[in-house]
Structure formats: structure tokens, C-alpha cells
Amino acid sequence: ILALRYDLTVPFARYVAMKKIKNIKRYQIARVYRRDNPAMTKGRYREFYQCDIDFAGEYERMLTDTECVKLVCDILQELDMNNFTVKVNHRKILDGIYVN
């Protein structure tokens, strides 16, 4: 029997649940495969690389969101892709701006 990895998130969630891990942060880049018949002409392929940034557990509010944005910025800068803009669209942040 041959099994092709369809997704990175489900095996990670299963691992965390089976090992009863309280808090974990990790990233993974791996090849995954689609089960459907993707439209190759529209840029959807059966085989592609997926990058996951996963946080499981309880963390200080908004900390994991901040870490995700910082990680993406660090990666882009390391790849010398310095001409980028990060746009944050979060209702609570916008509410806070308009209150003041």
C-alpha cells in the first residue's frame, strides 16, 4: 500500500493529541499531493510543496499571530526580497485605532 501525504496539518494535530503535548511551535516544508483532479491550466497541481507554521496549545493573546508575521518577514529578508509590505487586517486592532 502506498499513501501520499495530502496535508501537513492533520498529521501534526494527530501527533499532538496522541502525545498529549501541552504547547508546541513548529514549522515544516514538505511535498504534498492532491486527491482531486486539479485544473492544471489554472495553476493547480497534484504535487506541490506546502509550508506550515503551526502553534498548538495556549499562548499569550496575539503572540502567535505576531510570531507568524515576524517569521514570514524574516524569511523574505533572508531571501533578499526586501521590497515587501505586510498588511494586517484584524477587527480588534482597527477598533482600537478608531477609539483613540
Residue 50: in which H helix or E strand, if any? Answer: strand 47-56
Cell of 52: 506550515
pLDDT at 21 over 60: yes
Answer yes or no: are the C-beta atoms of 49 and 33 closer than 8 Å.
no
Calculate mean pLDDT across residues 61-80.
Answer: 89
C-alpha cell read off for 68: 507568524
Give me Rg for the CA atoms of the chain: 18
pLDDT digits (tens, 9 = 90+) for 25-66: 999 999 988 777 766 667 667 888 888 999 999 998 778 888
Distance CA 17, CA 56 (A): 10
Please give the model's pTM, rounded to 2 decimal places: 0.66
